Amino acid sequence: MTSRPLQPDPAENDLRQIPVWMGKYASARKAALGMILWYGFYLFFCAAMAGLIYAGGFARRGGHTSLVYLCVAGLVLVVAGLICFVICFSIPSWNTRFLTWLIGKIPASEGEATPACPAVATQLNRWYVWSGVALLIGGIQVDLILGFLGYITPKYMQPVSALTTVPFLVLVYFAVRPSGASALILLWPLLYTVHAILIVCDVPPFALPGFWQSNAILISTAGYGLLMAVFMLIYSRFALRRVRRLARVQSPGGSSLEG
């Protein structure tokens, strides 16, 4: 008599896939909502900085010294606010608490599910946060200032900013990873890098007229961030459909087989 194991039951394989797709749904949804929040705040801060820098440049050219100082003071406050936001958002426990509160405010017909936290935040994650903050200060902000003061041509502001923005975004991902953030977040620095390469190769993905050319950084940052958030929301809906298909109780009338 031959002995061979029974073939795996396809229904059992479906059940084993549930945690996989459940994790993808929860992490993609959380990341999408987090990125939309990030996008909104970042856009606000960058718009405030751009406005202050533009006003400062205008005041400097017009010789209004007190207005220049006022703009610089405002810029310092806005940068400080942005740094505080980045820190709060990048510390996994604060991130999780804030996003849990936010997710609770957003009605979801399917109910709520949070991703499993794969690890506890360590000192290394905090190092990621501080490194990212340092890059943020030394990178895109200086780039914006130099750009508006005319030291970098508007065309190359985005590629120059990519030198610090891309590592910053990657560091933020590693900082929030313990709270169950999806790896799809890395699409954002990937798109930002591709955009920079295309500009350097003289094949810009989109042409902006006049004033808007100087704001290419804001548009590419916010735009790719929003695009990535939308993609992750769509992916989370796809993952939820898979979970539902795999987890639906198959017995007649939806009743369970009581044990």
Partner 1 sequence: MENPDPIIHDASRLRIVMVLSGAGTADFNFLRSTLQITNGNLSSHMSRLESAGYVAVEKSFRGKVPHTAYRLTKAGRKAVAEYWAMMDAIRGGAGK
Q: Does 202 bind partner 1 (CB under 8 A)?
A: no
Contact set for partner 1, span 172-191 (CB under 8 A): 180
Would you say 66 or 255 has its CB closer to partner 1?
255
Q: Does 252 bind partner 1 (CB under 8 A)?
A: no
Would you say 221 or 236 has its CB closer to partner 1?
236
- DSSP annotation string for 221-234: HHHHHHHHHHHHHH
Would you say 132 or 180 has its CB closer to partner 1?
180
Q: Does 97 bind partner 1 (CB under 8 A)?
A: no
Q: Which of 88, 153, 249, 252 contacts partner 1 by CB under 8 A? A: 249
Contact set for partner 1, span 224-243 (CB under 8 A): 240, 243
Contact set for partner 1, span 17-36 (CB under 8 A): 18-23, 26
CB of 96 within 8 A of CB of 119?
A: no
Element (H, E) at 121: none
How many beta carbons lie within 10 A of that of residue 227, not counting itself?
15
| CB 34, min distance to partner 1, A | 14
- Tell me how many degrees the CA angle 38-40-43 measures, rounded to the nearest 5: 100
Residue 129: which of 162, 178, 163 has the closest Cα?
178
Residue 175: which of 226, 221, 146, 136 has the closest Cα?
136
Would you say 8 or 150 has its CB closer to partner 1?
8
CA dist 208 to 53, 94, 216, 243, Å? 20, 38, 8, 43
By CB under 8 A, name the binding residues for partner 1: 3-6, 8, 12, 15-16, 18-23, 26, 104, 109-117, 180, 240, 243-244, 247-251, 254-259
